Structure 1
Amino acid sequence: MKAKIVAEKTNLHPRNSHRLGYDFGLLTQKYPELKKFVALNEHHIDSSHSEQAKQTIDFSNPHAVIALNTALLISDYDIQNWDIPENYLCPPIPGRVDYIHYIADLLALHNNGIIPEGENVTILDIGIGANCIYPIVGNSVYGWSFVGTDIDENAIQNCKKIIEANPKLIDAISLQLQTESRFIFKNIITPEDKFAFTICNPPFHNSKDEATKSSIRKVNNLQSRSFEERTKNPILNFGGQNTELWCEGGEIGFIIQMIYESAKYPMQVLWFTTLVSKKENLSRIYKTLSKVSPIEIKTIDLSQGQKISRIVAWTFLSPTQQKNWKF
């Protein structure tokens, strides 16, 4: 029998279970609905020359991506019931998994090199969306507890449906609607709360027009279609409500607001973190951070395919306070 050769995605975190790509044979067994979206990519080069190695889906088709995510959640994360409403973001799971693993590494620095696991490690997910992906992954891999917040009540209600449909999540994830959209931590972090870290995937764009143009570029990059087909319903193709894709001030405005608010809760969070998609925003982020005087700032580079991103993390706790943090 010929040995199976699989190209490893070395740009993903070493513990990311998706480094070896997608096993569509296994995934379609777990979730047969995915099978109708799987096709051969004749342009794929793989030394094994196997049909399985060349299997793929059309990543510009939101139904295909939702089916793939559903199969991955069943196969890798023991989630039996998951769905999102039409037009909501359907994030690529491998990138979300990387965020969780890198934050786990950060927590291990304060725990004698051992990643803290279990329900006593509580994480605040800012902008949980309708998909609930970060809490699902973090709870499945490390047993962590989550508080998920959003300004979109429909997104919160869909997360509630996901949690109720998967009993193992009921005691692990709580949800809170942010009723004042101009705030991030206000109304959410109470005086009794202690979070090991906060996570956030902030809106990228500063207007609906900018978000639409970005989606059109993504469609154009992913597949070759007529201009009319490529530009039709770009927001639909990639999903995303307005609150997920853009906000006043865009990514940098959102993160600056987050930084200033974080200074009001210095002892209640071990690490504040956020994704930063635009490298040009880093200088303003560092400048704003200098104004609130954190003890430590870290930047962690991420990459998935052609997309380059990074996590910026900061803490107001001294090294001694960090070491004495109780998980």
Structure 2
Amino acid sequence: MSHSPQKKSLHPRNIHGIGYDFKKLTARNPALKDYIVLTPAGTESIDFGNPDAVFELNKSLLQKYYEIEYWSILKNSLCPPIPGRADYIHYLADLLAEDNNETVPKGKRVRIMDIGTGSSCIYPILGQRLYQWSFVATEIDINAIHHVQSILKNNPNLKNNIDVRLQENKENIFTGVIEKGEHFQAVVCNPPFFKSREDNWSKSTKKFHNLNKKPGAMPVQNFGGHPNELWCEGGERQFVRTMIYQSMEYKEQLGWITSLLSDKKNLKPLVAILEYHKAKAVKIIPMTQGNKTIRILAWKWS
């Protein structure tokens, strides 16, 4: 059999809800063949505890479904799971449709900002290929920016639709990357989740042992990640709190400001801040992928 099982609860427009067709994927990326394994049920899959396997799967998906012929990530960078990242984009499209007579707006006039794009530039890539939006992608790591620029250079269908900008001040999120007179219909962000290196290692080790049952196996993060991608002081709650306060300074230039939240406990205190400061609208959008639920926190000021 060439299909993996259907993905649970992905967005209705998410093409990856039908599972992975490994015959088609390996036809586009033969390197993926080396990582295919059979599940106890007899279906094809990959070892999701192997970062190389995860990378080749995501590369294959981008080639097959999004016409991205050249894509890579910096060594040890986060390797984003494409189905879940596409879900964020689809739910954002639904959010924008609410302000557009229930029609998803498409085309480069729809401008989106991606906070912390990383070396993968995954949200701008998916947003451009799915809905033809244009993006400003920000990043504090100059090496990641150079890498993204090489991706854009080698994919002509992206080159004129994604602008990558260096955030020189790590304390700022919007100041220094938003230019005077610019307006963005939405902001997307996948904030650093962990509070510290130790917090990262503890939780990643637990996850690894849940995935890998081999005795004595050494923990490895299947999705990788540089320090600035994985942790910051205060973790995701503090990062999004900073986003909220700093976004208030750009009320006239930003539409929906959104961020992923992995920890449900962070929702209540963040929503309380938004309500106290009288945000015009606040939404919590759950995304269920398999047995895991994460949320998009969305707000706008005007």
Q: What band does the TM-score fall into relative to the shorter chain?
A: over 0.9
Structure 1 residue matching 2:64: 3-state secondary structure: helix
User: Could you tell me how far 1:156 is from its partner in structure 2?
Assistant: 1.1
1:62-73 counterparts in 2 under 5 A?
62-73=51-62
User: Could you tell me how far 1:100 is from its partner in structure 2?
Assistant: 0.2
Q: Is 1:273 paired with 2:261?
A: no
- CA change 1:241–1:5 in 2 (3 A) is closer
Q: Verify the 8 A CA contact 1:263 1:292 in the aligned structure 2.
A: no
User: Could you tell me how far 1:306 is from its partner in structure 2?
Assistant: 2.1
**Which residue is equivalent to 1:315?**
300
Q: Which runs of 5+ in 1 are unaligned?
A: 45-50, 318-327
User: Could you tell me how far 1:230 is from its partner in structure 2?
Assistant: 3.1
Structure 2 residue matching 1:274: 3-state secondary structure: strand
Distance, in Å, in 2 between the alignment partners of 1:30 and 1:148 is: 28
**Which residue is equivalent to 1:127?**
116
Amino acid at match of 1:269: L
Matched residue pairs, number? 302
1:49-93 Cα offsets, whole Å, 9 max, x none, are xx5xx0000111111111001100000000001111210000111
- Relative to the length of structure 2, the TM-score reads 0.96
- CA change 1:122–1:164 in 2 (3 A) is same
Q: Percent identity?
A: 45
Amino acid at match of 1:296: A
1:34-73 counterparts in 2 under 5 A?
34-42=32-40, 44=41, 54-73=43-62
Distance, in Å, in 1 between the alignment partners of 2:147 and 2:5 is: 36
1:269-308 counterparts in 2 under 5 A?
269-308=254-293
User: Could you tell me how far 1:6 is from its partner in structure 2?
Assistant: 8.0
**Which residue is equivalent to 1:89?**
78
Q: Verify the 8 A CA contact 1:178 1:188 in the aligned structure 2.
A: yes
**Which residue is equivalent to 1:164?**
153
Specify the structure having the higher radius of gyration (Cα): 1
User: Could you tell me how far 1:5 is from its partner in structure 2?
Assistant: 9.3
**Which residue is equivalent to 1:145?**
134
Distance, in Å, in 2 between the alignment partners of 1:283 and 1:230 is: 36
**Which residue is equivalent to 2:104?**
115
Q: Verify the 8 A CA contact 2:13 2:90 in the aligned structure 1.
A: yes
Distance, in Å, in 1 between the alignment partners of 2:205 and 2:287 is: 24
1:159-198 counterparts in 2 under 5 A?
159-198=148-187
Structure 2 residue matching 1:275: 3-state secondary structure: strand
Q: Verify the 8 A CA contact 2:8 2:290 in the aligned structure 1.
A: no
Distance, in Å, in 1 between the alignment partners of 2:186 and 2:290 is: 27
Identify the match of residue 30 of structure 2 among 24, 29, 32: 32
Distance, in Å, in 2 between the alignment partners of 1:197 and 1:40 is: 41
User: Could you tell me how far 1:10 is from its partner in structure 2?
Assistant: 4.3
**Which residue is equivalent to 1:206?**
195
Distance, in Å, in 2 between the alignment partners of 1:30 and 1:7 is: 20
Q: Verify the 8 A CA contact 1:198 1:273 in the aligned structure 2.
A: yes
1:257-301 Cα offsets, whole Å, 9 max, x none, are 000001111111110000011000111101111232211101100
Distance, in Å, in 1 between the alignment partners of 2:143 and 2:291 is: 32
Amino acid at match of 1:155: A
Q: Which runs of 5+ in 2 are unaligned?
A: none
What root-mean-square deviation, in Å, do the aligned CA atoms of Structure 1 and Structure 2 show? Answer: 1.6
